[in-house]
Amino acid sequence: MAPPTGNEKHTPGTTRRSLLAGVAALGALGAAGCTRVATASTTAGGDLLDRMRAAGVVRLGIAGEIPFGYIDKNGELTGEAPELAKAIFKRLGVDRVQPVPTEFGSLIPGLNSQQFDVVAAGMYVNPERCEQVIFADPDYQMLDSFIVRKGNPKGLHTYQDVVEKKAKFATGTGYAEIQYAVDAGYKESDILIVPDQVAGLNAVEAGRADVFAGTALTTREVVKKSAKAEATKAFAPLVDGKPHVDGGAFAFRPTETRLRDAFNVELRKLKKSGELFRILKPFGFTEAEMTDLTAKELCGG
Ligand SMILES: CC1=N[C@H](C(=O)O)[C@@H](O)CN1
23-53: per-residue pLDDT in tens? 334 433 433 333 344 555 544 456 999 999 9
Fold of domain 47-141+247-296: D-Maltodextrin-Binding Protein; domain 2 (3.40.190)
**Could you read off the pLDDT of 201-227 as tens digits, one per residue?**
999 999 999 999 999 999 999 999 899
d(CA 246, CA 214): 12
Say which CATH architecture domain 144-243 belongs to: 3-Layer(aba) Sandwich (3.40)
pTM for this predicted structure: 0.87
Q: Say if ligand 1 is within 6 A of residue 135 CB.
A: no
Mean pLDDT of 157-170: 98
Taking the centre of ligand 1 as the mean of its atom positions, its distance from the CA of residue 90, in whole angstroms, is: 26
Measured CA distances, 126 to 1, 155, 196, 220 (Å): 29, 29, 20, 23
CA–centroid distance, 135 to ligand 1, in Å, is 14
Is the predicted pLDDT of residue 8 greater than 80, yes or no?
no
* Mutational test site, ligand 1, from 111, 126, 139, 218, max ligand atoms within 8 Å of CB: 218
Residues found in the chain: 301
Distance 37 CA to ligand 1 centre (A): 30
Task: Identify the three-state secondary structure at position 57.
Answer: strand
66 touches ligand 1 (CB under 6 Å): no
**Domain ranges (residues) in the chain:** 47-141+247-296, 144-243
Closest atom, ligand 1, to C-alpha of 215: 9
Q: Give the ipTM of the model, two decimals please.
A: 0.99
Q: 144-243: same fold as 47-141+247-296?
A: yes
Range 274-280 average pLDDT: 98
Query: If you measure from the C-alpha of residue 176 to the centroid of ligand 1, how many angstroms do you get, rounded to a whole number?
Result: 6
Give per-residue pLDDT as tens, 233-249: 999 999 999 999 999 99
